[in-house]
DNA sequence: GTCACACTTTAACTTTCTTTAACAGTAAGA
DNA sequence: TCTTACTGTTAAAGAAAGTTAAAGTGTGAC
């Protein structure tokens, strides 16, 4: 166990069990509740570090649940699960204080990335801040500081630049799927976000061109490959 | 070999052999079994790192097999192969502890991506795909960078060009079957994809004509042979 | 509050990649 | 020889991605 405890509220039992098993396998202590009421009753007793709430649930929906939880603990990170194209849900979700949300269907890997990202943002620096750093050819990239260094020159990346470069690094020398990247970073993989991503790819390529052995290759119709 | 050993259970012999050949070529040690019983009997003897199980199989189906395997080894990654739109299968699959599933038809590259993704999640740090390079007469071809070099001139190949040339190289001086190439790269071996492949063969021949000893020969009705 | 600034998205235009089409040439069997 | 399926080549059409600039958006300083 890594001492992280997750409250999971999901009424679809198949998905719920799948998620619980997966998160448990990933060393997150996970408590599953099949509706909002049960989750809310359990919340004060367990000392949870993170909540994953389905929005559409009978009895008490995820948004209402989030508001109640926030009254008890204003700082706890909350990730919403929602079906696609429920824009209103998403807006309501953010109003009720979501830190993040993820649209169904999603891959386990995607959810895991979100959890890690959110824990990185919210847990205190002293605790488990493992500063990941990648070396990309002659560059070195610190994901936490969001700094990209080449020899003595260092530039600060923006959040999106850094997140995209991190995903590329994680999938180093293999394909990073467009949709995966879009859903993990932009949440929604619509046309405009896809074009936005193109702009960021261009920018990253510009940053990385000092070392000619480093390349971000496009795989037509699928995604990108960072090679070094 | 990269020391990764895969158990593959698939009753369709065509697909089974195609998969085994491809995975073997990609340096995964692969054992193929044509039904669930045989696979299960063999499981304890071979020390496998990953299972790829067809769901629909006679005798013991993939889901039952997965459960049995999980009893022996709760952590081994399992990928299911399933026909499209078999939602129930997928859900059952996840209940029995699948890590991922892939719906037929799929490309080899897609499966490879899933395998790498799952290994990335379960083994750490990342298994970086090494850059393979082939020499073809006076040319040198880097599969990862997708670059084809002749003397001081280097051209960048597109993804499809590179995939096709890689298959040709891998079958160097022997025959690359049309259907194998089509299924591996284009997924579907229909008429239009076949014609598309012809176009790519023409293009590769153009790239390779600087060295007259290099030839892509057609074997009528069967496929192509790269000689150098 | 509003101004300035950094960050992100949208827009417009260009280039590249893949597939489809059209037509020509070639091998093999009836 | 003649027919038919297979292959070769080139051009075109359509979709995806590259690039640059402008327009939004939010955030902190004052």
C-alpha B42/C-alpha B37 separation (Å) is 9
Close Cβ partners of A30 (under 8 Å, ≥ 6 residues apart):
A5, A6, A8, A19, A20, A23, A24
Give contacts of A178 with chain B, Cβ < 8 Å: none
* Closest residue in chain A to residue B91, using alpha carbons only: A14
- Checking each nucleotide's C1' against the CA of A203, the nearest proves to be D19
Res A126: pLDDT: 37
Please compute Rg for chain A using Cα positions.
19
Selecting from A21, A112, A220 the residue whose C-beta is nearest the C-beta of B158 gives A220
Residue B83 phi/psi, 5-degree rounding, is: -70, 160
Q: B-chain residues within 8 Å CB-CB of A14?
A: 91, 94-95
pLDDT score at A161 = 96
Contact A108 B99 (CB under 8 A): yes
The reply to whether A212 touches chain B by the CB within 8 Å rule is no
Give B206 CA → C10 C1' in Å. Answer: 40
Q: What is the dihedral of CA B212, B214, B218, B222, to 10 degrees?
A: 170
| Minimal Cβ distance to A18: which of B94, B113, B126 | B94
d(CA A51, CA A63): 12
Residue B159 sits at the chain A interface (C-beta within 8 Å): yes
Condensed to tens digits (0 to 9), the pLDDT of residues B114-169 reads: 898 888 777 655 445 556 899 999 999 999 999 999 998 999 999 999 999 999 99
Q: Which A residues in the span 79-98 are in contact with B, Cβ-Cβ below 8 Å?
A: none
CATH topology of domain A4-122: Rossmann fold (3.40.50)
CA atoms within 13 A on the CB side of A36: 18
Interface check A159 vs B, CB under 8 A: no
Nearest CB to B97 within list A21, A174, A219: A21
Which of B97, B64, B58, B100 shows the shortest CA–CA distance to B82? B100
Q: Specify the pLDDT at position A122.
A: 62
Helix (H) or strand (E) holding A8: strand A5-9
Instruction: Tell me the per-residue pLDDT of B73-113, one tens digit each, with 9 for 90 and over.
Output: 888 889 988 875 555 555 555 556 667 778 787 888 889 88
Helices (H) and strands (E) in chain A, counts: 8, 12
Q: Tell me the per-residue pLDDT of B178-220, one tens digit each, with 9 for 90 and over.
A: 999 999 999 888 999 999 999 999 999 999 999 999 999 999 9
**CA atoms of B173 and B108, how far apart (whole Å):** 22
Q: How far is CA A59 from CA A35, A104, B213, in A?
A: 7, 21, 75
**Dihedral, CA atoms, A155, A157, A162, A165, nearest 10 degrees?**
-50
Q: How far apart are CA B102 and CA B171, in angstroms?
A: 27
The tokens 């395997």 sit on which residue? B69
Closest CA to B89 of B73, B103, B77, B105: B103
Q: Which pLDDT score, from 0 to 100, does residue B92 have?
A: 59
Nearest CA in chain B to A213: B145
Say how far apart CA B170 and CA B204 lie, in whole Å.
15
Please spell the DSSP secondary structure of chain B, one letter per residue.
--S-EEEEE-S-HHHHHHHHHHHHHTT-EEEEESSHHHHHHHTTTS--SEEEEESS-SSS-HHHHHHHHHHH-TT--EEEEEETT-HHHHHHHHHTT-SEEEEES--HHHHHHHHHHHHHHHSSS--PPP--EEEETTEEEETTTTEEEETTEEEEPPHHHHHHHHHHHHTTTSEEEHHHHIIIIIS---HHHHHHHHHHHHHHHHHGGGSTT-EEEEETTTEEEEE-
Q: Is the CB of B191 under 7 A from strand C?
A: no
Nearest to A163 by CA among A139, A182, A179, A189: A182
Instruction: Tell me the C-alpha distance between B82 and B100, whole Å.
Output: 11
Q: Which fold has domain B130-227?
A: Arc Repressor Mutant, subunit A (1.10.10)
Q: Give φ, ψ of A147 to 5 degrees.
A: -115, 140
Bridge-based pairing state of the strands B147-150 and A50-54: unpaired
Q: What is the mean pLDDT of chain B?
A: 87
Listed as ranges, residues in chain A with pLDDT below 70 are: 1-2, 83-99, 105, 120-131
C19 nearest neighbour residue (CA to C1'): B196
Could you tell me the residue ranges of all domains in chain A? 4-122, 130-227
State the pTM of this model: 0.82
Identify which has the larger pLDDT, A216 or B47: A216
Looking at the partner chain, which of A109, A215, A220 has a beta carbon nearest the beta carbon of B121? A109
CB A100 within 8 A of CB A87: no
Instruction: Quote the CA–CA distance of A24 and A188 in Å, as a whole number.
Output: 27
Q: Which two tokens stand for residue A12?
A: 């679809």
Which residues of A fall within a CB distance of 8 Å from B162? none
B106 CB within 8 Å of a chain A CB: no
pLDDT for A203: 98
For residue B129, the tally of other CB atoms under 10 A from its CB is 18
Compute the distance between CA of residue A78 and CA of residue A70 in angstroms, rounded to an integer: 9
Q: Which residues contact A57 (CB under 8 A, 6 or more apart)?
A: A9, A10, A11, A35, A36, A65
Query: What is the structure's pLDDT at A95?
Result: 58
Higher pLDDT, A91 or B61: B61
Q: List the one residue out of B211, B214, B175, B180 whose CA is nearest residue B197.
A: B180
pLDDT at residue A56 in the model: 83
């Amino acid at each position: 166990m890594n001492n992280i405890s997750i409250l999971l509220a999901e009424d679809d039992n198949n998905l719920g069990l799948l998620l619980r098993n997966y998160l448990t396998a990933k060393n997150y202590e996970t408590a599953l509740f099949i509706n909002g009421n049960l989750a809310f009753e359990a919340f004060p007793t367990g000392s949870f570090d993170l909540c994953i709430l389905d929005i559409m649930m009978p009895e008490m929906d995820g948004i209402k649940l989030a508001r109640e939880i926030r009254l008890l603990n204003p700082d706890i990170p909350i990730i919403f699960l929602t079906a696609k194209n429920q824009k209103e849900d998403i807006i309501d979700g953010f109003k009720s204080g979501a830190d993040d949300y993820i649209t169904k269907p999603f891959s386990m890997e995607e959810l895991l990335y979100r959890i890690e990202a959110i824990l990185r943002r919210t847990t205190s620096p002293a605790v488990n801040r493992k500063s990941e750093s990648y070396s990309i050819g002659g560059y070195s990239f610190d994901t936490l500081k969001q700094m990209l260094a080449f020899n003595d020159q260092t530039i600060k990346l923006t959040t999106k630049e850094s997140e995209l470069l991190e995903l590329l690094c994680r999938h180093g020398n293999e394909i990073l799927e467009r949709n995966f990247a879009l859903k993990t970073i932009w949440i929604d993989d619509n046309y405009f976000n896809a074009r936005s991503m193109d702009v960021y790819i261009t920018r990253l390529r510009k940053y990385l061109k000092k070392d000619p052995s480093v390349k971000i290759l496009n795989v037509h119709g699928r995604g990108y490959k960072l090679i070094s």
